Structure 1
């Protein structure tokens, strides 16, 4: 039998006698593999963007406007627009003229909400549920009762909406169309060819044209090929003959129907990339710590093998084979766990609003293969390095080290720790000098580099803590602490494997959460700080009609009122270079004699000129673009329209989260709804204005009136989505680190059965041993917490400084919860492991193999 087979047989047979250590490695690798496969599935979902169409499902092809902004400084990157890119009406005729097109059906969508007793029947933001009856064929809608809406004032409801509202053909209903309350007669009820979750209201052609927020345009065109024409070939012809359009087939049609699908690609890629990178680092640290601990506990066995003639290469190969056997089994099981975790993370992201509900999770063989290969590579690397020291050691030296492991780390680990420490300081220092809106992307990795540094120097750190604070621990914890301090010092190498996940969990939790809460507070304050209002009028019924805006202006006590429109876009000429992170656009009315709703100081120019095609730029943006008041620039707005504008004012806006300000009428014309959903009001007595507007708003559907705090609340929702991504990352990383800490701690305690037996034979009882273990766990837990807090400060403090603060922002309960969680991880795991380790009587325990 060859030496390779002998080593393999020995490796496999030894697994039977090391169930606890093997189980710990198995669990760590299993969860890591599952998380990696889940991340790969999220990344694949972002690339594929599969969203099955619903209302447009009957049309084999869907044609929309431009897919997105092609970045001038990139060869192929296209960033989706924030708003729907519409098509001119004459494009419908061009599409119909393409050979092979059987029918081209235009679709116009506008905000429509069913009212019940004057209020929206369903809470929440309205959707673009109003359409022309001619577009009903795109969803295969068929009348189940009544007739089509042939004259103005008639509407057809989908069957689900009609049933829930209790209406039928011939009934009268109140609808808020583009924010204005109107009465319609239900001419019929229609059923789609397949399930459509969103409500649909179909109007006559005349009404659809009247309600179109963008006259002279259509939102989409559904194309039915002629008999015998392949949809794929026809899509190619349309793209060639009618350029600058997006032609979609199959599941890609869903991105045209659901506006949030294309826009979710970049956030989902970032979520997958950041989380995947974090999991890779955490998994490498956790698996390395677990395997190193199991190898360290076998040092005496490996030394005996060396003493009986085994070569260093054979010992090294045996350890690697053992670990890879466990790793391969864990990776196979991890494939099943990865499918479950991927679906859970994706569904959780959808429920939190991070991704749209219509997007489908995609996870195929590529995702599974990537996760398994990465897992096996990490496992092999961890096993190779863990076995290296034991294999190279001389037999007599190895026997001595097995008795009293040295705490000194080798030069390579010391150099690695030094590099990681320098990287942590460099990342923190770089963050301070960056804008707050981009600082988190640079400062975030400081948590990981700091944790890696601790992992490399773990034994020496624990030894120093015990030497420095051992007397203090003895005074606080009593006589049971004496042996605990000695044990912690002597077993610093083993306890370092527990220290690593504790440090990592606390650093990730505190760093991610508090850097995000600090940035979020600054972001909301910067947005709200650019505006001023005594009252904020908000609509959830599609927006404000011109009549409602006029009534707000005429309300007693109102001196200034301005619709507020928000979107995003770019300065294209000269290009601002913002790429995938476009600038925030804000639309307000021009300054008048009563004042302005803008709170930012005008350093040059005047807001009285903010009319027509004009813009007020933040000073920082103007300086970067080298433009001044009077300069003419070209902007790419949220719907893809290129608009030439004149700079009429420069604003002293915050350097981070600044907004470019345009006339509300100009910006609204290039948003999907075409309306503003908020109106800012100024006057003399704020409470009197709020009261007067509240009385008037009783007749307006879905309209609420609040004070200036509503400005921050309106922006809170979008900021919360970004925060939830970081919270989700933190929770998953902490959970993995916690499981790893429990695993490692259990292995470390269970390996000490002989020691506990000897202590009991010497007169100690079980309670004294448990108290000793609790003190040991407390030393490791406190050390890990302190290190995690220090490491997190390298991310949190620089983030606070970039926002102009010294003290980070965030709830204190998070800090207290992390402390509590660490001790709930360490002490219960210690108690359970101690109970299992002392099940046998003392004499039997002393006879057992182990350290």
Structure 2
């Protein structure tokens, strides 16, 4: 018979008697493969960026403004704008004149909400106002009444009409552009498949309410009969290259401005998550397979003693592992789809990604996950089987009795190199820009964990020898054997130590580094502003009338709208690339203004019209001075040539470029501010001012008044979304490591049935054996927590220093929860495995094969 077939038959036959070890390998590959497939789906989604249009679904071609900023220092890279770029009104006629175009329908969006006694309807999506002409783009169909033809008339979608309790012919109060609600006559009710409110006004009203004069937001194009939409789109793009022409699923990115901007965060999420899962999987799978091979040393030695060649032993171990790995990878195909969908749903449901984005997971994601999983399994089995295959039969039998704790020179050298890399990464991150510090020092968690995995047996043996007396004093008689086992079984226990250390390092490193960085970011940006009261409008916009009402409140000293956006200094180019700078729009001409950043030169009193207050650090980098003119590329793609009238002492890591609110607001998607910052007049109490402002805005729908902490909360909302991504990565990596710890720990305990039988024949009770195992587990848990915590500090401390806080910031309960989680993993699994391992009588147990 073919020797290879004999090896394969032996491998398949042995799987029946190694259910626990096979199951551990199966689960490790299954979970790892499914997570890799999920990462592949996220990356595929980032490349496709598909979002089916809703309100524009009927238009085969959608035309929008410029797609993004073409970086001056790059040949082809274009960064999406953070705001919607409109289409100049004079371009609509040119689009209509393109051959093959039958009809063009411009669409303008503005803030409009139905006001009720319970508050504004649809405050979470206030940009719901449109002209009636654009209803054809969905299309919406009238189910009651008629279209609005005159000023003061409106058509509501079915959901909004039902919530407001109004029918065609009735009246409904609507707040438009943040102005006080006024009654509109409901001429009709429409039905549409899109979600969210939609309010359609007469053409005259829509033109009056538009906050972007001279432009339209989008243009829907209908080709002539028999003309292909792609052909028409190509013609428009050729004749009007400055515009963005979209067809198919790409039309959704025009309707939902955040779609294109989600590409880079999604690529980063998929890349970081995929890299972390890859490293974790490599450690987990290799530890699991190494443990199962190590426990078979005696059996493999007997095979060598009876004539099996090293190659045959090696092939048999490979065959066994790969059979289980293939089954795990195939099961991972099913689980990967479910995991990917759930992760994506979590990110969209918590605001990390636009909810309209469609999840893509094709053959590349599935194939890549399977190939990588099998490759890792093959490599792990290959290296794990080498010592057993190369060892001499008598030497292997001796090693099976007492596995040596020493690692070979290659592993020891690798551990030293990775430990040094961990230190170098931590030090290097101190000299990098604060915005990329986390990317540099974050890798220290993985390099440190790999170093522990390589040197783990010697670490365990050292701890058992150095702290053995202390453990025996604390644990009593049952700790004597536990200490001895921790030293002699260091190789097997190291497979359990690795995932515990990794889970602890990833959890603490990711969470506390992120909380420290986010606290610094929030404090830096919020610290640039000062306000005794903050007014937020639930209508999506702050009207001048609301600002006037607040100014008239007793005790109010100054009032400023707050507009936030992003942009670049284009000339001279600031080099920010894909990371545009933060723009703040304020009215800070008052002496007692809301800007807390010190002015080093110039005057904020001149900040009006086309002017800018520039952080001094940026001015120095670009060799700019007071009075110079620069060109800004704003969030919607518009250029603003502004004069520097003041230099600011902004935080070096988190600077903000300050513009007049009246200049910046029209270049944002809402077109208006939705917050007011209020300062109390000199000599007036801030709490009394909050009360006065609350009373002054009581009749304004959706107006919410907060105290000075609301400034920080407005920035915290954005930071919380970014932090959620890191928490998600940490939770998934920890869960995988926890599963691996459960697997390896259960296999390690169950494989010691014979040892437990011998101990019981020698007079030990079940409770004593169980107590010994619990102490062993405690040693592993404590050592894993100590090592994981130490490794995480190489990420946390550099982040704290770079953020200027020195001491890390974060909730204590996270650290306590990690400690509790480790012990809740180790002790219950140990107790259950011990019970299963001692089900047989001692006589039966000692006759079992194995150690």
State if a TM-score over 0.5 links the two structures.
yes
Aligned to 1:751: 751
Structure 1 residue 153 corresponds to structure 2 residue 155: no
Q: Is the contact between residue 566 and residue 587 of structure 1 (CA under 8 Å) also seen in structure 2?
A: yes
**1:760-796 CA distance string (max 9 Å, x none):** 0000011000000000000011000000000000000
Distance 2:435 2:276 in 1: 21
Aligned to 2:473: 475
Aligned to 2:602: 605
Aligned to 2:639: 642
How many angstroms does 1:806 deviate by? 2.1
Q: Is the contact between residue 157 and residue 186 of structure 1 (CA under 8 Å) also seen in structure 2?
A: no
How many angstroms does 1:267 deviate by? 1.4
Give 1:594-673 correspondences, 5 Å limit. Answer: 594-673=591-670
Aligned to 1:484: 482
Q: Is the contact between residue 58 and residue 140 of structure 1 (CA under 8 Å) also seen in structure 2?
A: yes
Q: 2:404 aligns with which of 403, 406, 419?
A: 406
SS at match of 1:181: coil
SS at match of 1:180: coil
Give 1:166-181 correspondences, 5 Å limit. Answer: 166-181=165-180
How many angstroms does 1:163 deviate by? 2.0
SS at match of 2:26: helix
**1:207-264 CA distance string (max 9 Å, x none):** 1011101111100000000000000111111100111111111111111111222221
- Aligned CA distance change for structure 1 residues 159 and 186 (closer, same or farther; 3 Å): farther
- Show structure 1 runs of 5+ residues with no match: none
Aligned to 1:303: 301
SS at match of 2:181: strand
Structure 1 residue 708 corresponds to structure 2 residue 708: yes
**1:433-460 CA distance string (max 9 Å, x none):** 2333321111111101100000000000
Farther off after superposition, 619-628 or 552-561: 552-561
Aligned to 1:10: 10
Farther off after superposition, 688-697 or 468-477: 688-697
Distance 2:800 2:505 in 1: 17
Farther off after superposition, 603-612 or 238-247: 603-612
**1:87-109 CA distance string (max 9 Å, x none):** 11011001000000000100000
Distance 1:182 1:294 in 2: 72
Distance 2:64 2:346 in 1: 30
Distance 2:182 2:531 in 1: 33
Aligned to 1:499: 497
Aligned to 2:132: 133
How many angstroms does 1:49 deviate by? 1.4
Farther off after superposition, 72-81 or 728-737: 72-81
Distance 1:477 1:628 in 2: 71
Give 1:88-127 correspondences, 5 Å limit. Answer: 88-117=88-117, 119-122=119-122, 124-127=123-126
Farther off after superposition, 399-408 or 783-792: 399-408
SS at match of 1:514: helix
How many angstroms does 1:118 deviate by? 7.2
Aligned to 1:776: 776
Q: Is the contact between residue 299 and residue 850 of structure 2 (CA under 8 Å) also seen in structure 1?
A: no
**1:717-742 CA distance string (max 9 Å, x none):** 11000111111111111110000000
How many angstroms does 1:551 deviate by? 2.6
Give 1:304-453 correspondences, 5 Å limit. Answer: 304-453=302-451
* TM-score scaled by length of structure 1: 0.98
Aligned to 1:244: 242
Distance 1:297 1:621 in 2: 62
Q: Is the contact between residue 144 and residue 188 of structure 1 (CA under 8 Å) also seen in structure 2?
A: no
Distance 2:124 2:713 in 1: 14
SS at match of 2:667: coil
Q: Is the contact between residue 101 and residue 226 of structure 1 (CA under 8 Å) also seen in structure 2?
A: yes
Aligned to 1:84: 84
**1:636-663 CA distance string (max 9 Å, x none):** 1100112211222211111122211111
Give 1:284-299 correspondences, 5 Å limit. Answer: 284-299=282-297
Aligned to 2:226: 228
Farther off after superposition, 554-563 or 483-492: 554-563
Q: Is the contact between residue 170 and residue 188 of structure 1 (CA under 8 Å) also seen in structure 2?
A: yes
**1:103-139 CA distance string (max 9 Å, x none):** 01000000111110272134x4343100000001001
Distance 1:118 1:757 in 2: 72
Distance 1:394 1:634 in 2: 76
Aligned to 2:730: 730
* TM-score scaled by length of structure 2: 0.98
Farther off after superposition, 395-404 or 494-503: 395-404
Q: Is the contact between residue 171 and residue 186 of structure 2 (CA under 8 Å) also seen in structure 1?
A: no
**1:690-713 CA distance string (max 9 Å, x none):** 122111101211111221110011
Aligned to 2:26: 26
Give 1:565-584 correspondences, 5 Å limit. Answer: 565-584=563-582
Aligned to 1:688: 688
SS at match of 2:644: strand
Aligned to 1:794: 794
Aligned to 1:519: 517
**1:143-195 CA distance string (max 9 Å, x none):** 21112111110000012221232211111111111111232333433434x51
Q: 2:542 aligns with which of 538, 541, 544?
A: 544
SS at match of 1:810: coil
Instruction: Give the aligned CA root-mean-square deviation in angstroms.
Output: 1.2
**1:780-828 CA distance string (max 9 Å, x none):** 1100000000000000011111121221111100000000000000000
Q: Is the contact between residue 755 and residue 846 of structure 1 (CA under 8 Å) also seen in structure 2?
A: yes
**1:341-389 CA distance string (max 9 Å, x none):** 0011111111111112111111111110111111111111111111112
Give 1:257-276 correspondences, 5 Å limit. Answer: 257-276=255-274
Aligned to 2:561: 563
SS at match of 1:128: coil
SS at match of 1:356: coil
